[in-house]
Chains A and B, each alone.
Chain A
C-alpha cells in the first residue's frame, strides 16, 4: 500500500467508527453519561482547552515522562554498558534486571505510597523506575550482542578499554538501547497514568479518574484518546527519528 492509500483506509475506518458510534449513542436506550456521542467528546475538548485544564495536564504528564526518559538515558545507559562489559557480571545481573523489569511500577505503587506518600514523589519514583529498568536491561543485552571481532579488531589497533566502550560497545548497543528506551517509555507512560489516577496530583490520569466521580464520561473518553494520541506523536516524531538517524543509516536494521 502507498502512504496515500494507507491514510485513506485509516480515514474511512475512522469515519465508519465515528458514524456507528454516533448512531449507537443516539439510538441506544442508555443515559448520556454511559455512552456520550462523539460530538459530546469533541465539545468537552473545546471546554477543557478553553478552561486551560487540558493544556496544563498534558504538559504535566509530558514533563514527567520526558524527565523519566532523560534520567533513564543518563543513568540507565551507562549502568547497562558497565554491567554488560564483563560476561560474569552480565550473567549475574541478567535475572535481577529481568525480574525488576517485569514487576512494573504499577505493582510497586502500593508500597511506594507507603514509603513516599500521596504526592508527586511517588509518581516520579514509580515512572522513573518503570522507564529505567528496560533501558538498563536492553543496554546490557546490546553490549552482549556486539560481535567479539569488532572488539578484537580495535584491540589490535591499540585501543584502550575506554576507547572500546565509546567506539564499539556504545554504538554497537544502540539498536538495543533504542528498543529499551521505546519499551521503557511505553511501560512508563502506562505507569504514569496509573500513578496519576491513584495519587491524583494533576496529569491526564488524574483528569480521567476524577471525571468519573462527576459522570463526565465524555471527558474520560477524550482523556483516553489524548493519552493514545500523545504516545503516537512521541513515538513517531521523537523515537523513530532517533532510530532513523543512527541505526537505519548504519544498516543495522533491515526495513
Chain B
C-alpha cells in the first residue's frame, strides 16, 4: 500500500502564554497512513495528539520536520484535507443544508449539483427532514452529523477527525461510530481519527497508533485484525481478538500514564 500521508521527524514547540515556559508537544514523530486506511491515534492526555492533527490540517505550524500528502509537502490548510473538530464548528447562521453545501459553494459548484450532493449526504448521515433547521434546533449528536456530512460533501482526499464524538451522549456516540465505519467502508477515504477512548480507537481503526506521553512520538502501531464488515458493536465485541487488541492498546497507553 502506498502512503497517503507521511509524517517525518515532526517536532512542535510552543510557549505557554501563562507560565512563559517552552513546551515541546511533539518530538520525532514518524508516521505513515496508507491510502484508504483508517488510522486512529490514542495517547495520554496532553501527549499532543490534537496538535498532530492540527499540523496535518495545516492549522498549526510544525517547528521541525515535514508532512507529506501524496509526497507533496503540506503548507497551510486546504480542501484536500477535511477536518471534523471536537467542538461544534458548523456555522449557527446556516441551515443544515447550507452548512453541508458550504465546501461545494466555496469551490464554486453550481446550485443544482450542490443540491444533489447535499441530498446524498443528508441521507447518508440520517438527517433527512432536518435540512432547513438551524444548528441550535438540533441535538449535539445531530450537529456532529452535520459536521461530518459537511466534510464528506467537500470530498477531501483525507479526513482528519479530532475527537469528534467526545461531546455527544453515549448512545448517540455508538450510532455515530457505526455510521462512520459504514462511511469509511463505502467511501474508502483515508481517515486519521484522534481520540482518548481506547475502545473507540480499536473499533474504528485499521491500525491504532499509540503516542507516548509528552513530548509525543509514536510508541507503537497496533493492527486491528477484524475486517471492516464485522464492525458493528455487537459483532465486533464478540470477536475473540477484540478484547485482546483492546487490552493491548490499553496497556500501552497505561504505561505512558503510569510513568508520569
For the complex, what is the distance from the CA of A167 to the CA of B81, rounded to whole Å? 20
0/1 per residue, A19-41, Cβ < 8 Å to B?
00000000000000000000000
Q: Which residues of B contact A157 (CB under 8 A)?
A: 79, 82, 102-103, 106, 150, 154
**A77 smallest CB distance to B (angstroms):** 16
For the complex, what is the distance from the CA of A158 to the CA of B79, rounded to whole Å? 5
**A247 smallest CB distance to B (angstroms):** 9
Q: Does B93 contact A (CB under 8 A)?
A: yes
Chain B contributes a number of interface residues (CB within 8 A of A) equal to: 27
- Flag if A158 contacts B85 (CB, 8 Å): no
Chain A-chain B contacts (Cβ-Cβ < 8 Å), number: 68
- Flag if B102 contacts A167 (CB, 8 Å): yes
For the complex, what is the distance from the CA of A155 to the CA of B154, rounded to whole Å? 12
Q: Does B91 contact A (CB under 8 A)?
A: yes
**B31 smallest CB distance to A (angstroms):** 20
- Flag if A156 contacts B59 (CB, 8 Å): yes
Given contacts A249-B134, A251-B137, contact A158 B103 (CB under 8 A): yes
Q: Which residues of A contact B90 (CB under 8 A)?
A: 153
For the complex, what is the distance from the CA of A109 to the CA of B226, rounded to whole Å? 79
**B165 smallest CB distance to A (angstroms):** 17
Which of B57, B91, B93, B135 has most chain A Cβ within 10 Å? B93
- Flag if A246 contacts B93 (CB, 8 Å): yes
| B92 touches which of A152, A155, A158, A250 (Cβ 8 Å) | A250
**A195 smallest CB distance to B (angstroms):** 37
Chain A contributes a number of interface residues (CB within 8 A of B) equal to: 22
- Flag if B77 contacts A252 (CB, 8 Å): no
| B89 touches which of A152, A174, A249, A250 (Cβ 8 Å) | A152
Q: Which of B114-139 contact A (CB under 8 A)?
A: 134-137
Q: Which residues of B contact A167 (CB under 8 A)?
A: 91, 102
**A253 smallest CB distance to B (angstroms):** 10
**A167 smallest CB distance to B (angstroms):** 7
For the complex, what is the distance from the CA of A246 to the CA of B59, rounded to whole Å? 30
Q: Which residues of A contact B57 (CB under 8 A)?
A: 152, 156
Q: Which residues of B contact A87 (CB under 8 A)?
A: none
Which of A152, A154, A163 has most chain B Cβ within 10 Å? A152
For the complex, what is the distance from the CA of A172 to the CA of B91, rounded to whole Å? 9
CB nearest to A152 among chain B residues: B59
0/1 per residue, B94-111, Cβ < 8 Å to A?
000000001100110000
| A163 touches which of B58, B92, B106 (Cβ 8 Å) | B106
| A250 touches which of B78, B81, B102, B136 (Cβ 8 Å) | B136
Q: Does B87 contact A (CB under 8 A)?
A: yes
| B77 touches which of A150, A152, A168, A246 (Cβ 8 Å) | A152
Q: Which residues of B contact A249 (CB under 8 A)?
A: 134
CB nearest to B153 among chain A residues: A157
Identify the A interface with B (CB < 8 A): 149-150, 152-160, 163, 167-168, 171-172, 174, 246, 249-252
- 14 extra interchain contacts, Cβ-Cβ under 8 A, other than A149-B85, A152-B77, A158-B107? A149-B89, A152-B57, A153-B85, A155-B77, A156-B77, A157-B79, A157-B82, A157-B103, A157-B150, A158-B106, A167-B102, A171-B93, A174-B93, A251-B134
Top-6 shortest CB links A-B: A251-B136, A158-B79, A153-B89, A155-B77, A171-B93, A157-B103
